[in-house]
Structure 1
């Protein structure tokens, strides 16, 4: 990939979910595969879930932490 991120399809997009790591709930807005490396010669990719909480603020968590609420 030459981009720093790529959207990933997920079965729970736009549904209410819970982050099992924090216990917070919200709507799953996006799942994105992001290049989080500091050095372009050594790429490190991670897949993050973006969840919008009831306050309207979004937070991220590992996509493996997302469960239906």
Structure 2
């Protein structure tokens, strides 16, 4: 299977953001177009990588990312 992951520009890159699904805030480190399939049939999604206060990064769909309040 051919897989092409690519970085996607985002207006909030390296800024404080909030994941609306979890309420967690952190710095947006990257947005990557990834194949998220677990079945072998390609399913592509843009995932946001957010680094929280502890230094851990987590992913969320890019549509869940908003600017953090007061920033």
TM-score bucket (shorter structure): 0.7 to 0.9
Residue 48 in structure 1 maps to residue 59 in structure 2: no
User: Could you say which residue in structure 1 is the equivalent of 2:30?
Assistant: 30
Normalized against structure 2, the TM-score is what? Answer: 0.86
Normalized against structure 1, the TM-score is what? Answer: 0.88
User: Could you say which residue in structure 2 is the equivalent of 1:64?
Assistant: 63
User: Could you say which residue in structure 1 is the equivalent of 2:12?
Assistant: 12
CA distance in 2, matches of 1:16, 1:26: 5
How many equivalent pairs are there? 66
